[in-house]
Amino acid sequence: MPALPSTAWSLLAGSLLDNFWTALITVVLADLLSCSLGFYLSKRFGRSLVEKLVGSRFMGKVDRLSQQHLERNFFLLTGFLMTGLFDFVSYGAGLTSTKWTQFLPALMIGILLSNTPVVAIGAGMFAEGSSKLLLVAAILGVFSLAIITGWLQRRSQTATHRE
């Protein structure tokens, strides 16, 4: 569980490290390592522990929800990984049947898109208003792609059932 949110560390790295690129690479690598570790630990050890606490019936519901939404919609997973709760999302995704091959690309894209403007704010590269706008636009764009993907999948399933 993080002591400080990653946004604070990203701002700090942007303002204290030598330049923007050094700060960005440091933050991206730290986030990739910590989220991958959280995903791995929950995948390896967390599921059995959580299942003992909540029961297998509830875990079945979690699996169905994950399979219907997160595993079929890459952009939704990416969007959730772009939020300030991406470390918890990583742990939660590890509890489901989400595969590494689905998780890692979504994590990399999410981290790059969400961290770049925050590190830039710390480094003073963007004016305050435009950097926040860039982050909001990136998150809204990914969630828009997730909605479109879900809609297209539902439409495809409906067409398949008609045949």
Q: Say if 98 falls within a structural domain.
A: yes
Q: Say if 1 falls within a structural domain.
A: no
Q: Say if 123 falls within a structural domain.
A: yes
Q: Say if 43 falls within a structural domain.
A: yes
Give CA–CA dist 15/131, Å, rounded.
Answer: 15
* DSSP state at residue 17: S
146 and 120 Cβ atoms separated by less than 8 Å: no
Q: Say if 31 falls within a structural domain.
A: yes
What predicted TM-score, i.e. pTM, was given to this entire model? 0.66
Tell me the H-state helices in the chain.
6-16, 20-41, 47-54, 56-65, 74-81, 86-95, 100-123, 128-162
- Nearest Cα to Cα of residue 86 among 139, 130, 45: 139
Note the pLDDT tens digit of each residue in 69-110. Answer: 777 778 888 888 887 778 888 888 888 888 898 899 999 998
pLDDT tier, 40 (very low <50, low <70, confident <90, very high otherwise)? very high
CB neighbour list of residue 25: distance below 8 Å, 6 or more residues apart: none
96 sits in the region (left: phi over 0; alpha: psi -120 to 50; else beta) called beta
Q: Say if 61 falls within a structural domain.
A: yes
Note the pLDDT tens digit of each residue in 109-132. Answer: 988 888 888 787 777 754 455 556
Q: Say if 89 falls within a structural domain.
A: yes
pLDDT of the residue at 127: 46
More confident residue, 7 or 105: 105
pLDDT of the residue at 1: 40
Residue 129 domain boundaries = 6-162
pLDDT of the residue at 93: 86
pLDDT of the residue at 126: 46
Domain count, the chain: 1
